[in-house]
């Protein structure tokens, strides 16, 4: 009886030595180990995508809060400006319905509304960016799973074909 010793190195650099009675058994074992490695890699990459999606969701929420804070800060600045204008108007002796002071306050409101619209627009732009990244990751995961399992099945099929061919000493002319 003779035994064959085959070494297989995994992606972490670990060498596994397998001893088998025949080359056909070695091909089958190598195919199984390779398929298991492919499935493990797919699962690992899926977990990495899940972590990235969690990070993106968190950043998306933080960006929404930041946009809201910027909007509130701009509204506070407008209220301060109007309060200062009213204080100055009251000590200067102008009437409450003075057209120039009403216009100054209206211009401050117009500018603030424009700034707030820009803040909201940029906030929505950032939200769309994160939503798109999450969407892309969803399809990346689908492709990863499908491709990984197809690869594993291919490795097993090839391994079985080689096992079947070599189990009788490789004398078959037609593998199919």
> Which H or E element spans position 39?
helix 23-92
> Is the distance from CB of 41 to CB of 11 less than 8 angstroms?
yes
Q: Angle CA(26)–CA(32)–CA(34) in degrees, nearest 5?
A: 100
- Tens of pLDDT, residue by residue over 54-104, are 999 999 999 999 999 999 999 999 999 999 988 887 787 766 677 777 888
Q: Compute the distance between CA of residue 152 and CA of residue 134 in angstroms, rounded to an integer.
A: 27
Q: What is the pLDDT of residue 1?
A: 44
**Between these two residues, 37 and 175, which has the higher pLDDT value?**
37
Tokens of 99: 């057209």
Residue 141 makes CB contacts below 8 A (sequence gap 6+) with 46, 49
Strand partners, 20: 4
Q: Compute the distance between CA of residue 121 and CA of residue 115 in angstroms, rounded to an integer.
A: 10
pTM as predicted: 0.65
Tally the residues of the chain.
Answer: 176
């Amino acid at each position: 009886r003779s035994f064959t010793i085959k070494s297989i190195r995994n992606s972490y650099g670990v060498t596994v030595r397998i001893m088998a009675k025949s080359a056909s058994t070695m091909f089958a074992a190598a195919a199984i180990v390779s398929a298991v490695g492919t499935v493990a890699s797919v699962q690992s990459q899926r977990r990495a995508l899940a972590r990235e999606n969690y990070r993106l969701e968190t950043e998306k929420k933080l960006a929404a809060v930041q946009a809201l804070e910027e909007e509130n800060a701009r509204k506070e600045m407008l209220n301060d400006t109007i309060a200062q204008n009213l204080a100055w108007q009251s000590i200067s002796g102008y009437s409450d319905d003075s057209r120039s002071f009403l216009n100054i306050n209206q211009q401050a409101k117009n500018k603030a509304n424009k700034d707030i619209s820009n803040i909201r627009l940029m906030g929505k732009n950032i939200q769309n960016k994160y939503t798109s990244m999450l969407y892309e990751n969803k399809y990346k995961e689908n492709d990863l799973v499908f491709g990984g399992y197809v690869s594993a099945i291919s490795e097993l099929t090839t391994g079985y074909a080689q096992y079947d061919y070599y189990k009788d000493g490789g004398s078959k002319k037609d593998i199919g």
